[in-house]
Amino acid sequence: MNSSINAPLTIDTIIVGAGVTGLSAGYHLTKQSKRLIILEAAARVGGAVGSITEQGWLRELGPNSLMQTPALADLLSQLDLGTETIEANPVAKKRFISKNEHPVALPGNPLALFTSPLFSLGDLWHLAREPWIKPASFEETIAQFVRRRLGQGFLDWAVDPFVSGIYAGDPDRLSVQAAIPKIYATECESGSLIRAGIARMQAAKANPAPITQPAKGKLFSFKNGLQTLTDALAAAITSSGNGEIHLQTPCSSLVSNTDGGWTIHTAQGKTYTATNLILTVPAAVAAGLLEPTDPTLAEQLNRIEYPPVASVVMGFSRVQVAHPLDGFGLLIPSKEHKQTLGVLFSSTLFADRTPPGKVMLTAFIGGRQKPEAALGTDDEILQRVLNDLSPPLGIKGPPEFLRIQSWPRAIPQYELGYLALLEKIETQAAHWQGLYLAGNWRDGIAVGDCLINGQKLAEQLAKKPS
């Protein structure tokens, strides 16, 4: 990937970090003929996105699937990846929640709520009152918001496990405005989540999307895993003739030049200079790099929490797992007092990723509420996961294939006061000409959000007079 282009580069921009955000910004900037270099500490591009095939098992290191959107469909067609995509198995619509160590399917429609063992009559009564509940006048946590609008039962058995599944977070700390802004906006605009949901369903029935439009909301991946996307972005950057990606080249320090622009030093002793510097590294890494230049900015960035998570890929013979694995996976609510956050039925989600007669499960353990569970030896982590998953899934014996990927800083937590903190960071960073801070710690943690944020940043820079 250390491609070089013949003429010496007059660099507009240096991007630090070749995760989804850095690659997206780089791809859209090189399309605008901006010349850039991306410095990446690791030996591969992709950051949290990585796919590895070994002994017939195709596993993901971080994210396992993407949600289709028109913007993503457009990017895939630009990158010529249309024929590489695979849709998730339709049974993945079914999601299980563990209750008293039993997997219970989440109700698939409003009527099924009445017979679901997840919710009591009291829970349904609280839900029925939702359209008349007034918005709050202060910033709430997700737990406060859900308790107020939907009741404790829905918090415990529906929202809490989803918050664990997406953020590995704590609903008692995450800010509803920052972490689930669309739901917060629905309350502000419609006054009721239920009324807005009904209106959306009626509108979709009255105006069905044309069949030529990409299937919005569908989960998908690529035949060779999600890394196909980040590899394709990297290939497009280097083949444009305007961009280079330097792997195993960690940025070790940076200096703001008195005549404008930035000088970047790498751990190998190389020096780069450019007008614009985009940092797409985790907030704590950006803080370390910016500390000598701006200790206030560094202190603000350091306030962002990143709990550890371990991703545990386990391969079993089909007969070792009693559960039919007929769904997306199983989420484990905090009420169950387990250490594992949830498990994906990976071999159900996408076919042909295991040797014949085998199944693959990907469990996630640790997170904001139980960070210590992600730490320890592989044996210790596996034991915790098997203790938690064997009762609900009927797992017998150890996995025959095991790979544990540790993420010491897995997912930034958008906690109470987050939007105010981001505003302070924005104001402080604006003191530095040519400095841009991006990454999954702002404007969404999903891969799709990072792609859009990288693109928006590139559009902003392209408008800047050079």
Ligand X SMILES: Cc1cc2nc3c(=O)[nH]c(=O)nc-3n(C[C@H](O)[C@H](O)[C@H](O)COP(=O)(O)OP(=O)(O)OC[C@H]3O[C@@H](n4cnc5c(N)ncnc54)[C@H](O)[C@@H]3O)c2cc1C
16 near ligand X (CB under 6 A): yes
- Which of positions 392-431 make contact with ligand X (CB under 6 A)? 407, 410-411
Nearer to ligand X, 388 or 443 (CB): 443
Nearer to ligand X, 250 or 371 (CB): 250
Residues 288-327, one symbol each (x = binds ligand X by CB under 6 A, - = not), give ---------------------x-x----------------
Residues 217-246, one symbol each (x = binds ligand X by CB under 6 A, - = not), give ------------------------------
Helix, strand, coil share (%) of the chain residues, nearest 5: 40, 20, 40
Stretch that binds ligand X, among 25-33, 59-67, 317-325, 380-388 (CB under 6 A): 59-67
Residues whose CB falls within 8 Å of the CB of residue 199, separated by 6 or more in sequence, listed in order: 190
Closest CA to 444 of 142, 179, 188, 175: 179
Nearer to ligand X, 153 or 165 (CB): 165
Stretch (H or E) spanning 449: helix 447-462
Provide, rounded to whole angstroms, the least separation between the CB of residue 121 and ligand X.
34
Place of tokens 């030529």: 212
What angle (nearest 5°) sits at the alpha carbon of residue 451, between those of residues 283 and 409?
30
At 183 the three-state DSSP class reads: helix
Binding test (CB under 6 A) with ligand X, winner from 1, 11, 15, 17:
17
Binding test (CB under 6 A) with ligand X, winner from 1, 15, 20, 232:
20
Binding test (CB under 6 A) with ligand X, winner from 14, 15, 97, 281:
281
439 near ligand X (CB under 6 A): yes
Other Cβ atoms less than 10 A from the Cβ of 267: the count is 13
Nearer to ligand X, 64 or 175 (CB): 64
DSSP state of 156: I
Provide, rounded to whole angstroms, the least separation between the CB of residue 217 and ligand X.
13
Contact 346, 360 (CB under 8 A): yes
Stretch that binds ligand X, among 12-20, 80-88, 128-136, 236-244 (CB under 6 A): 12-20
Binding test (CB under 6 A) with ligand X, winner from 39, 88, 232, 360:
39
| CA–CA distances in Å: residue 315 to residues 20, 39, 178, 307, 391 | 28, 35, 37, 26, 17
Please name the residue ranges forming H helices in 282-396. 283-290, 295-302, 346-349, 378-393
Question: What is the phi-psi region of residue 421: left when phi exceeds 0, alpha when psi lies from -120 to 50, beta otherwise?
Answer: alpha
Provide, rounded to whole angstroms, the least separation between the CB of residue 68 and ligand X.
12
Binding test (CB under 6 A) with ligand X, winner from 227, 280, 300, 339:
280
Distance, CA of 419 to CA of 417 (rounded, Å): 6
21 near ligand X (CB under 6 A): yes
Other Cβ atoms less than 10 A from the Cβ of 84: the count is 15
Contact 61, 48 (CB under 8 A): yes
Provide, rounded to whole angstroms, the least separation between the CB of residue 356 and ligand X.
26
Residues 165-204, one symbol each (x = binds ligand X by CB under 6 A, - = not), give ----------------------------------------
62 near ligand X (CB under 6 A): yes
Contact 453, 24 (CB under 8 A): yes
Binding test (CB under 6 A) with ligand X, winner from 13, 30, 51, 64:
64
Binding test (CB under 6 A) with ligand X, winner from 225, 282, 308, 399:
282
Angle, to 10 degrees, between the axis of helix 447-462 and the axis of helix 70-78? 70
| CA–CA distances in Å: residue 143 to residues 40, 132, 171, 179 | 38, 19, 5, 12
Which residues here bind ligand X, judged by CB under 6 A? 16-22, 39-42, 47-49, 62-65, 250-251, 280-282, 285, 309, 311, 407, 410-411, 439-440, 445-448, 450
